[in-house]
Copies of this chain bind each other. A is one copy, B any other.
Amino acid sequence: MESIRKLLSILRESPASSQYRRDFLLTWDKSKEQLDFIISLAEALRACHRHNVSLRSFDSGLAVSIFRDNSTRTRFSFSSAANLLGLAVQDLDEGKSQIAHGETVRETVNMISFLTEVIGIRDDMYLGAGHTYMKEVGEALADGHEQGVLPTRPTIVNLQCDIDHPTQAMADLAWLKETYGSLDALAGKTLAMTWAYSPSYGKPLSVPQGIIGLMTRYGMNVRLAYPEGYNLIPEVEALAADQAGQSGGSFEVTGSMDEAFDGADIVYPKSWAPFSVMQTRTELLRARDDAGLKELEKQALANNAGHKDWACTEEKMKRTRNGDALYMHCLPADISGVSCKEGEVDGSVFERYRIRTYREAGWKPFIIAAMMFAARFENPADVLAGFVNDPRPRRARPEAAGRA
């Protein structure tokens, strides 16, 4: 409980960087103070959970999830976070047909929000669409609230869009803080966010973008490496460079995985589709051009196959600081000889870091819960203090617990 009280005092002394009723769409929309606050809050929520302190903040209320792409781990993280705070999850199942934009979005969003506190959205299939859709949902919610339709404006949590994957990147940041002891300790650390070969194609850009868009704010030396033609959205690369300059870190782009790994403290080797392929894919998906999509997949896979040497092998790991950089991954990884013949990472490398990648992932429910908590309470630190100072056990009722 001592650790919780310490976190509480940190939270109570945080600058009043209110995120009350604000969406969490992109980490770079938030001030560093706001991000730090979410990280500390996530730590406090996790500590409360581990100490059997109930965090049930809502006696009723819905957390709506809109998954426009498959998901298991993010779905469970969202459900867990909502449940931790007392919200019930209700999926909006759009069926096979896509929800049209404009009129229909505006209406549907209001119809599902009469008693809703939070809306989690995953929409990462179409480049140029996911973030735009979330903004559109947000405007409809704001309009509905202002016009007296909705008693409160629900908060949107971006569960992955075409641009950013903030719940992943923030969970990764919390994991780095846990690993290195503090956020300050990250300054000067070298992180290699590198492309890696995978036998599939079309993986979103949001994870690498999320990582370079967040870690460059913490004084880290971020290296982004990919084969020619596999660049990310240019604006996000530019943003990362800007931020690195401001935070006292650095940002370089290289065409060599070896260079990126040399002396790195942290490596994050992960496949993604080139920006240009994603653009073409989006056009083809919209045109429902199945033949075109097949042709694109064929070409893209052939391109990928030219870069099978972009793999996190034991050899490559030896190049990192002391040969034992921290390996990170958002999971699931394409593991050579395990989940595929040749993939992103050697089986032996992955196995050595497997449990650590699970612990990395374990931050996500608490990060999402923190995003919800910070957005739904005007003074989240005070509300949390209420939970901690007069704790109710999460499991077993007080009198029962007392006797047991």
Could you list which residues of chain A lie within 8 angstroms of chain B, going by C-beta atoms? 49-50, 54-62, 64, 70, 72-73, 75-77, 79-80, 83-86, 88-90, 92, 95, 102-104, 107-108, 110-112, 114-117, 144, 147-151, 331-332, 335, 338-339, 355, 358-359, 361-362, 364-365, 376-379, 382-387, 389-390, 392-397, 399-404
Known contacts being A149-B362, A339-B103, A365-B114, is A397 close to B404, with CB within 8 Å?
Answer: no
Complex CA–CA separation, A365 to B103 (angstroms) = 22
Is A115's CB under 8 angstroms from B50's CB? no
Can you list 26 pairs linking A and B with CB atoms under 8 Å apart?
A57-B397, A57-B400, A58-B394, A61-B394, A62-B83, A72-B108, A72-B111, A77-B114, A80-B114, A84-B115, A89-B90, A102-B338, A111-B331, A115-B365, A117-B395, A148-B355, A149-B362, A377-B396, A379-B403, A382-B400, A383-B397, A383-B400, A385-B400, A386-B401, A386-B403, A387-B400
19 additional A-B residue pairs with CB within 8 Å, beyond A60-B394, A107-B358: A55-B59, A58-B394, A60-B84, A60-B85, A61-B83, A72-B92, A73-B111, A75-B90, A76-B111, A79-B88, A102-B338, A107-B332, A149-B358, A149-B359, A377-B396, A379-B403, A386-B400, A386-B401, A390-B399
Contacts of A92 in B (CB 8 A): 72, 76
Contacts of A355 in B (CB 8 A): 147-149
Contacts of A84 in B (CB 8 A): 60, 115
Q: In this complex, what residue of B is CB-closest to A393?
A: B59
Is B404's CB under 8 angstroms from A386's CB? yes
Known contacts being A358-B149, A399-B389, is A59 close to B49, with CB within 8 Å?
Answer: no
Is A72's CB under 8 angstroms from B112's CB? yes
Contacts of A150 in B (CB 8 A): 362
Is B80's CB under 8 angstroms from A115's CB? yes
Complex CA–CA separation, A339 to B385 (angstroms) = 49
Is A59's CB under 8 angstroms from B392's CB? yes
Contacts of A50 in B (CB 8 A): 151
Contacts of A75 in B (CB 8 A): 90
Which 8 A-B pairs give the minimum distances between C-beta atoms? A386-B400, A80-B115, A54-B59, A383-B400, A149-B358, A73-B111, A382-B404, A386-B399
Is B358's CB under 8 angstroms from A377's CB? no
How near does chain B come to A149, taking the closest CB pair, in angstroms? 4
Is A358's CB under 8 angstroms from B403's CB? no
Complex CA–CA separation, A393 to B404 (angstroms) = 21
Complex CA–CA separation, A402 to B387 (angstroms) = 12
Is A61's CB under 8 angstroms from B361's CB? no
Is A403's CB under 8 angstroms from B382's CB? yes
Q: In this complex, what residue of B is CB-closest to A116?
A: B80
Is A386's CB under 8 angstroms from B377's CB? no
Known contacts being A76-B90, A331-B107, A332-B104, is A59 close to B395, with CB within 8 Å?
Answer: yes
How near does chain B come to A100, taking the closest CB pair, in angstroms? 8
Contacts of A115 in B (CB 8 A): 49, 80, 83-84, 365
Complex CA–CA separation, A332 to B106 (angstroms) = 11
Contact of A79 among B55, B62, B377, B395 (CB under 8 A): B62
Complex CA–CA separation, A36 to B95 (angstroms) = 38
Is B395's CB under 8 angstroms from A376's CB? yes
Contacts of A399 in B (CB 8 A): 386, 389-390
Complex CA–CA separation, A214 to B381 (angstroms) = 50
Contact of A60 among B56, B103, B359, B386 (CB under 8 A): B56
Contacts of A386 in B (CB 8 A): 396-397, 399-404
Q: Which of A110, A365, A385 has the most CB of B within 10 A?
A: A110
Q: In this complex, what residue of B is CB-closest to A395?
A: B58
Contacts of A151 in B (CB 8 A): 49-50
